[in-house]
């Protein structure tokens, strides 16, 4: 399998300068990467809780499962996906972002097709094996589907997009990430509202099939066309079109020393905080700071996931109309993310990482 993927990675259609060359663009290709990776994260919404929550009630009605069983299946899928993601990171390192984003998009699309017929498949299997109830099979099929959904969508498609964005920017990485975060936050906030309209017009099966076509064909094609793993493979430099600004070219190195007749060379910004040293994976796992930040983010993610998965039931129990429910969810999520402004161009490169993590947790 690995040998096949390596041969596919060397195929002419995946060459960094095919079908377009990043070197020939009049702008730094990192700005293109910023746009397409933001779209990539938004395309992962069908695999995110924001995209699954509006399908919970139709799934409950189709499969006959209780809400607790469905939540447990989603928990199993989320935790299993989380344990598998480190191996997904290794896959990105070995095969590159372009191949991985195509595979992730197709995988997510196939998973959506599978989930759209999961209830019928459970009924067919229960009839085939002459079972009294299809509920155990439906639960198992949904566990399998949620593992695949969370790993391909919330996991790999998001991971490869964020990783690729980070590889193309250096000092402006904070600004690029913050700018992407604004559109991602708005998109995730609007997702339940937009997807509910899809369900109203196409039905829950049709909505998932439409999303499968959009992600598989649309995002897969966009990933092949525009994603590039890193600037070096394209003959570019991280953060700029030319040579790195902090590295002296041979001509600059040969310039005579300043004699007072010329202006001294500009000194680098002393407010820039670079990491004191780079950490390998094994080094990071041995630090208390890594586990403290990981625990804080994991606790936050689990809590928010549980809340968002059940928000439809929460509003319905308070006898809120469906239209009001959708608007309330959009407003809540929009305000929750509205503090994320693209000021990281100033804050990010000039602040120690620990301070940024403390700010985000607060």
Residues in the chain: 362
> What span, in angstroms and rounded, lies between the C-alpha atoms of 142 and 315?
25
Q: Does residue 121 lie within any of the structural domains?
A: yes
Q: Which domain holds residue 347?
A: 28-241+282-361
Q: Does residue 51 lie within any of the structural domains?
A: yes
Q: Does residue 97 lie within any of the structural domains?
A: yes
Q: Which positions of the chain have pLDDT values less than 70?
A: 1, 240-277, 310-362
Nearest Cα residue to 334 out of 326, 342, 346? 326
Whole-model pTM: value is 0.79
Whichever domain contains 222, its CATH number is: 1.20.1250.20
Nearest Cα residue to 166 out of 154, 181, 155, 151? 181
Radius of gyration of the chain (CA): 24
Q: Does residue 5 lie within any of the structural domains?
A: no
Tokens representing 353? Answer: 């990482």
Q: Does residue 266 lie within any of the structural domains?
A: no
Q: Does residue 338 lie within any of the structural domains?
A: yes
Distances (CA, A) of 76 to 148, 189, 201, 225: 11, 25, 31, 35
pLDDT in tens, 231-251: 999 999 987 665 444 443 444
Please check whether residue 108 is in contact with residue 216, taking contact to mean a CB–CB distance below 8 angstroms. Answer: yes
Q: Does residue 303 lie within any of the structural domains?
A: yes
Can you give the pLDDT at residue 114?
98
How many structural domains does the chain have?
1
């Amino acid at each position: 399998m690995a040998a096949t993927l390596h041969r596919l990675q060397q195929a002419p259609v995946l060459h960094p300068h095919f079908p377009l060359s990043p070197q020939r663009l009049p702008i730094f290709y990192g700005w293109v990467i910023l746009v397409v990776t933001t779209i990539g994260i938004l395309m992962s919404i069908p695999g995110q809780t924001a995209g699954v929550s509006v399908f919970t009630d139709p799934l409950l009605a189709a499969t006959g499962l209780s809400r607790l069983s469905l939540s447990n299946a989603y928990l199993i899928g989320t935790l299993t996906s989380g344990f598998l993601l480190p191996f997904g990171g290794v896959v990105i390192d070995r095969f590159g972002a372009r191949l991985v984003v195509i595979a992730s998009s197709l995988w997510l699309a196939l998973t959506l097709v599978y989930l759209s017929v999961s209830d019928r498949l459970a009924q067919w299997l229960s009839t085939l094996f002459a079972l009294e109830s299809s509920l155990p099979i439906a639960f198992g099929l949904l566990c399998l589907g949620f593992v695949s959904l969370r790993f391909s969508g919330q996991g790999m498609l998001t991971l490869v997009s964020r990783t690729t964005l980070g590889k193309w920017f250096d000092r402006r990485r904070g600004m690029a990430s913050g700018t992407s975060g604004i559109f991602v936050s708005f998109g995730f906030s609007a997702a339940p509202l937009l997807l509910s309209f899809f369900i109203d017009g196409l039905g829950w099966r049709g909505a998932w099939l439409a999303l499968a076509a959009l992600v598989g064909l649309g995002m897969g094609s966009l990933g092949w066309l525009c994603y590039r793993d890193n600037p070096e493979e394209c003959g570019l430099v991280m953060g700029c079109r030319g040579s790195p600004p902090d590295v002296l070219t041979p001509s600059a190195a040969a310039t005579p020393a300043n004699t007072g007749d010329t202006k001294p060379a500009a000194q680098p910004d002393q407010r820039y905080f670079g990491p004191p040293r780079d950490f390998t994976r094994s080094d990071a796992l041995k630090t208390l700071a890594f586990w403290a930040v990981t625990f804080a983010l994991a606790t936050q993610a689990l809590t928010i996931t549980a809340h968002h998965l059940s928000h439809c039931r929460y509003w319905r129990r308070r006898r809120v109309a469906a239209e009001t429910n959708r608007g309330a969810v959009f407003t809540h999520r929009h305000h929750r993310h509205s503090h994320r402004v693209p000021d990281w161009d100033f804050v990010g490169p000039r602040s120690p990482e620990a301070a940024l993590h403390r700010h985000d947790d607060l």
